[in-house]
Amino acid sequence: MSVLICGSIAYDNTMVFPDRFRHHILPDQIHILNVSFLVPEMRREFGGCAGNIAYNLKLLGGEPLMMATVGRDADPYLERFEALGIPVGHVRRIDEAFTAQCFITTDLDDNQITAFHPGAMSFSHENRVSDAQDVKLGIVAPDGRDGMLTHARQFADAGIPFVFDPGQGLPMFDGADLLDFLELATWCTVNDYEARMLCERTGLSEAQVAERVSAFIVTLGGEGSRVYHDGTMSDVACVPADELLDPTGCGDAYRGGLLYGLSRGADIVSSARLASVMGSIKIASRGGQNHAPTRTEIERRFRASFGSPLDF
């Protein structure tokens, strides 16, 4: 049975400015800012949370089913996923819009100026969870605000367990919205910054958030992750990476591993360990979908890191 991934599909446009922004942005002229940066180096990557999660789930041998909205420029993305064997039958095309796009310019100090155009993502609420068949579990990942609210309710109404993953979309929701998500969701996963925001907006501690779901997972970057479950908290170690090259998409790789474990009936801690392996593999590659480990390599890293076989 499939894992239904509700979230964004996007193009990531990454540019490098071979200088420092501070040499060109004058503090006393910020009120009339008008600057242009020459960026000789540019990469365009396939991205978006649904796309990245589906890619990682497929690497593990899972059955991802994406539910997303794209624009009139989506043919290269959809053709690539079809070639990878990832179904796109529930990806809706909005012909009057562009696919969501992120434009990131980085300077020599690793400062970033980012612009994000949501495009077709704003129409995600037009998709219906009930249109997908034979779904075992799902995830509500960052997407259009109305889409995230709608899909969470539809998962719950259909009795399909799902992960609530607000990610960078968390600021769109107030405390009441977030409490509703926690009421509907089976699991919740955030990074440490998002955990602080979630707690501030709901008035709950991390332990109290955990009481409202079957498991609450907080990722901590290079320090691993905290997994709250069954009234306890387990630490999951960070898996050493071959190289710290690009963190883009690491959270999505983690969620791909988490979903694979849950879909195979693994316990939450074992699923989080596999998630950690996937994040460590991804960070050694540029872009969200350019790493391509074999299943054998994933199993080897899992055993080396946690001392047990990957048997799910």
Enter the tokens of residue 168. Answer: 């960078």
Based on the residue annotation, tell me whether 252 is a catalytic residue of this protein.
yes
**Cα distances (angstroms) measured from residue 240 to each of 218, 231, 249:** 18, 29, 17
Enter the tokens of residue 202. Answer: 């709901």
Residue indicated by tokens 């990131």: 104
* CA dist., res. 140 & res. 4, Å (int): 9
> Residues 250, 247, 239, CA angle at the centre, nearest 5°?
60
Catalytic position from the list 75, 143, 252, 311? 252
Written as one string, the DSSP assignment of 100-133 is EEEEEEE-TT--EEEEEE-GGGGGGGG--GGGS-
Enter the tokens of residue 176. Answer: 């009441």
* CA dist., res. 122 & res. 99, Å (int): 10
Q: Which residues pair with residue 15 across a beta bridge? A: 42, 105
Q: Which residues are catalytic?
A: 252
